[in-house]
Structures are given as C-alpha cells and as structure tokens.
Chain A
Amino acid sequence: MMNSNTDASNDLNWLAFRYVAGEMAADESAAFEQRMLNDLDTCEAVIRSAQLCESVDAAFDQPAAPVMAPAKLAQPHVETRPAGRRFSVAASAVAGALALTLFAVTSRDGVPSHEARETSEIVRLWSDSADASASVADDADATVAETAQAADIHVPDWMIAALEAKQRDAEEDDIIEN
C-alpha cells in the first residue's frame, strides 16, 4: 500500500516535472491542465517541481562563490575601504591647507588672536568630523550614497565664507589698531 502511494506520488511528480520543463506534447499538456483544474495535489506537484527547478538552476548558477541572501544581492558591490581612505587623505589635506591659511592670516605677530583661536576651533571640529566620517566609511557597510558623498569632497561654502569674514575682521582690527 505504501509502495503504491509512493509510486503514484513519484509518477505525479514526474508528470509535473515534464509539464514544467515543457516536455509534454500539446494534447498531453492540455489534459494535464484539466487535471490541475480538478485536483489540488496535481497543482501542488507542479509548484514543487517549479521550485525544485528554480533551486537546481540557482545551485548550478552559483557553484563556487558563496550564495548571498536576497537583501545582499540587491546591493551593488561597492569598494568602501579605498573610498574611505581617499576621503580621509582629502579631508586631512583640506584641513592642513585651512590651518596654514589661518596661520598666515591671523598670527602675524606670533600670538594667535581670539579670532584665530575661534577659527582654529572650527577647522579642528570640521577636520575631526571628516575623520569620523572616514572611519565610518572604513568600517564597511557604507551605503552607496555615503560613498558617493565621500568621493565628491569639496570645502563647504560656509567654511570659506567664515574664513573670509574672519580675515576681513582681522584686517579691520589691524587698521584700527594702527
């Protein structure tokens, strides 16, 4: 009894596979579809067969490389670490340039003025935040947006405007003092 059930099940699975694989002639396929209309077991066999084919296809499709979960597959491959390093180097260069400019503008007498210290603080904070961003990028799992942002480094306008204002103030102070 058990064997006949198994045989019947195997027969049905085989028919389902032939249907899914398109190995049936047109009249046989039509007859099988009529059977599907009236028999849920036949429908289930078709579902199992379709899913088995998909699994086998996927198994052959990705033989060597580790299979990635669907969520990971949706993400484009991004080289985050080099971008993070590039960002860090660029940020340090910009911060250094700003510091030199600042030094030239505000420390003519060798003693940093109050404005110089304030501006220096802005530069230090910006530099720190840039380093922090770079380390986040380095810590992997950075998003595409973050990477795109990192690749497009520029000195913010507010920073330039702030420095120009400070420079103007310092020059005005010099004029008043002289």
Chain B
Amino acid sequence: MSSSQDAERISPEAVAELYAEFGDDLRAYLTAVLKDREQALEVLQVVLRKTLEQGHLVTENLRGWVMRVALQEAMLLRRNQTRERQVLEKAAWKQSKPSDVPDLALSVPMTVETVKIVRQAISDLTPDQQQVVRLRIYEDKTFAVIAQELKLPLGTVLSRMRAALQKLEVALKDYAKD
C-alpha cells in the first residue's frame, strides 16, 4: 500500500475512539450472534483490524458498516466451524455437540445503576411476568419447558414474556434518556 493511501487510513486513535463509543454494543451484538463470549471477542479483534484497514473507504454510516462486517465475520466463523465439525464427524472423531443453550453471561460490565434500574423495573412487573422472566432469562429455560412446568398454554407464557419485555425496555430507555 502506498504512503498516500496510508495517510488516508483511519488512524489507530480514531479506531480506539470508535471502540470506546460502541465497543460494548459490538461485543453484546457478537455475543448474541455467536452465543459464545470468547468467539465474540475473537471476531471483535478481526472487525477492529478491518476497520483500521478499510474504514477510510466507507461512505455510508460507519456504525452500520462495522455492524455488517461484524455479522459477516461471525457468520464466516460459524460456517468454518460447521465445516470443520462435518469433516471431523466424517473422520469418525468423537465430537462434543456445541451447546444449544445461548451463553448470555455478562459480556458487558453492568453498572451499579443499570442493575438497580432493571431490578426496580422487574419488581414493577406482575408476579406472573416476573416468574416467566426469571425462568426464561435467569434460569435459561425454553418457553416450551416453562409452559410445561407452569401448566400453561405456550401462548400465555409468550404473552407474559412479551409484555414484561416491553415494560423492561421502556424502563431502560427512560433511564438511558436521563
């Protein structure tokens, strides 16, 4: 690459600023897509490197571009892993099945304030809604299992969860505005 092109590149400082601005969002996003925190961090490194190399060529919204690159890289990693797994399975290797349970462990440090707000918002939910939220998010049970355990129609469980999520989202949005 020529020196004039280098001069146009996004500086490492600018990438660092970009990371400071929405690095946490990007990590949460990649963790949601990959369901694996370690892999999310791995892909995050690749995304930052690509931003450094190609960010200066981006004409659209940089955040949108970074999100798209992140998703593409995550999907690529997943495809490669699937291919690798298939090869290994064909070779009759004993391969442990990757967990179907999403890893929703903390990827972003929670602030004291955020947790307080969410706890307050949870306590404002109806007991039925609180129960479903706890079972689904904290205990990581599927809706089907929850419906079975509570002896409720699946639709009822989904409605309760959906109503609870709307309330929680509003509480967090209000907090973010303040």
Contact = CB atoms under 8 A, between A and B. Distances in A.
Contacts of B172: 48, 51-52, 55
In this complex, the member of A40, A58, A69 whose beta carbon has the largest number of chain B beta carbons within 10 angstroms is A58
Given A43-B71, A57-B137, A51 B28 contact: yes
A136 interface: no
B156 to A, nearest CB: 15
A31 interface: no
A62 interface: yes
B137 A56 contact: yes
A interface residue count range (under 10 / 10 to 19 / 20 to 34 / 35 or more): 35 or more
Contact of A19 (B32, B114, B118, B166): B32
Contact of B138 (A37, A40, A57, A68): A57
A56 B168 contact: yes
A133 to B, nearest CB: 32
Contact of A56 (B33, B35, B138): B138
Interface stretch (B1-9, B47-55, B60-68): B60-68
Interface in A55-82: 55-63, 67-70
A121 interface: no
A104 to B, nearest CB: 58
B45 interface: no
A61 B35 CA distance: 19
A69 B113 CA distance: 9
Interface stretch (A20-28, A94-102, A108-116, A144-152): A20-28
Contacts of B108: 51, 54
A10 to B, nearest CB: 6
A90 interface: no
A22 to B, nearest CB: 4
Contact of B28 (A33, A47, A62, A63): A47
A142 interface: no
A62 B104 CA distance: 16
Interface of A is mostly: helix
Interface in A9-54: 10, 13-14, 17, 19-23, 33, 36-37, 40, 43, 46-54
A57 B105 contact: yes
Interface string B145-178: 0000000000000000110011011001000000
7 contacts: A17-B165, A19-B32, A37-B72, A47-B29, A47-B32, A49-B32, A53-B137
Ranked nearest first, the 5 interchain pairs of A and B with the lowest CB-CB distance are A50-B32, A60-B138, A50-B28, A70-B109, A22-B102
Interface of B: 24-25, 28-29, 31-33, 35, 61, 63-64, 67-68, 71-72, 75, 100-102, 104-112, 114-119, 122, 133-134, 136-138, 142-143, 161-162, 165-166, 168-169, 172
